[in-house]
Amino acid sequence: MLASQTDLKAPRLFGTDGIRAKAGEFPLDGRTIGAIGESLARHVAADTGRTPRFLVGRDTRESGDWIERAFCSGVHAGGGRCETAGVITTPGVAYITGKFGFDGGVVFSASHNPFEDNGIKIFSPSGKKVAGELERRIEADIHTADSETGVAAMDEIEVPENGLQYRSAYLDGLAEGFRGLDLSGVKIAIDCANGAASELAPALFRRFGAELVVIHAEPNGRNINQNCGSLHLEHLQKAVADTGADAGVAFDGDADRALFVNEKGEVMDGDATLWILAKYMHEHGELGKRTVVATVMSNLGLERALESQGIELVRTAVGDKYVLDELLRTGSELGGEQSGHIIFPARSLVGDGMATALSIFRVLGERGGSFSDLAAGFIRYPQTLVNVRVREKRPFDEVPEIAAAAAGIENELNGTGRLLLRYSGTENLARVMIEGEDQATIDEQANRLASVIGSALG
């Protein structure tokens, strides 16, 4: 039984991308997962006044099945019901949740992490990740739970699976958004990361007539993201070179991000993707706010390139959650991260790697020529990043020697570069990032500032 009163000062378990941990360890042990499901069901039932229905889906990790059953047993204990879409992408769950009238959608995935990890992401019927008070109430319930929900009952729970129906509906929805796209004669290499896109991505791109070279699409529960996918683009680069592909795209484990390789084998990261899509949307009257939202990590070259087109780059903290919040606040039409999370709020409130890929391939198909030509006008500034281990995370401007050193480097850059100082959100690390016109110069500046930080806080 969960506590009837919740303590909203309970320790945080939800990060910017849900709950994530090693599978089997708190908070992803069976008892706690059951408590999360029970808590969610009870709160949604109280808010809606009806028996809540939840759609659940998972990536290809071997822990996904038992985590799903533990969660659904908790939902049943809380008076709710679950249906499973089986193995499906994170944006697929967000889409189906709204289309089929579920009260919430839940994904069991740890995105780009290794198979030992897993996570829980919860979506509202709007397709947006839940946040705020509901997360805090679930956290409080977890810390006060005294039942064994999810452990004793999870093998007895029957979860109806309409996976094929839901996965087909998701692909139909994606295809409908790109009606008329013809990729006949285009050869595309796809790295599915042995994850959730392994069946879905090839099926989707074949609908448009593309010739495919598919790698890392044989998941075994343990090989998700293992030397493949968006964190290991060298395999995609080789596949493009070996097969003469026109383009390559790599997904992460839950396919909410996509990174590209052009016909020369060069990596096209999220900044290059934003540049290509921003130009296209601007030319087609689809960028009404003349604004692109990205994070503080996006390259200065993207900002300069967009300025040349009369488009403003608005920066947020790192995390697709913050990008989405700014998109919704400003009514802007395009945003994303260097990592390949690209968000089109008119289409979806979550990054969708397959939708991003179709968007890029649409530009390629309409423009003709080579993929590398699409990025013309975007000149990446040299960038360096140095991490410094610290004993405490004091505000940098409150440490005189750090503030003075940072101000000195800002003067040296004199508007031709950018300095970003921030702390890691998960480790005792200070991060020094500098962009400028000369790699050797910014390397020296970053190491100099890192030394000051290490002396003061290390």
Q: With bands split at pLDDT 50, 70 and 90, how would you rate the model's confidence at 9?
A: low
On whether the CB atoms of residues 409 and 434 are closer than 8 A, the answer is yes
pLDDT (tens digit, 9 = 90+) per residue, 273-332? 999 999 999 999 999 999 999 999 999 999 999 999 999 999 999 889 999 999 999 999
Give the type of residue at 51: T
Q: What is the mean pLDDT of residues 421-432?
A: 88
**19-168 matches 189-374 in fold:** yes
Q: What is the mean pLDDT of residues 341-366?
A: 96
- CATH topology for 19-168 is Alpha-D-Glucose-1,6-Bisphosphate; Chain A, domain 3 (3.40.120)
Residue closest to 277 by CA, chosen among 174, 175, 363: 363
Catalytic member of 39, 63, 73, 111: 111
- How high is the pLDDT of residue 159? 73
What the block records as the tokens of 357 is: 């890929």
Please state the domain extents for the chain: 19-168, 189-374, 383-457
Q: Any catalytic annotation for residue 111?
A: yes
End-to-end CA distance of the chain: 46
Cis omega (within 30 of 0) for bond into 395: no
Question: Is residue 135 scored above 70 in pLDDT?
Answer: yes
- CATH topology for 383-457 is TATA-Binding Protein (3.30.310)
Q: With bands split at pLDDT 50, 70 and 90, how would you rate the model's confidence at 143?
A: confident
CA-to-CA distance for 186 and 360, rounded, in angstroms? 13
- How high is the pLDDT of residue 150? 43
Q: What is the DSSP string of 107-149?
A: EE--TTS-TTEEEEEEE-TTSPBP-THHHHHHHHHHHH--S-T
Give the type of residue at 137: R
In DSSP terms, 212 is beta-bridged to 188
Run of H or E including 190: strand 187-191
Contacts of 118 (CB under 8 A, 6+ apart): 20, 21, 22, 23, 28, 61, 63, 64, 67, 108, 109, 110
- CATH topology for 189-374 is Alpha-D-Glucose-1,6-Bisphosphate; Chain A, domain 3 (3.40.120)
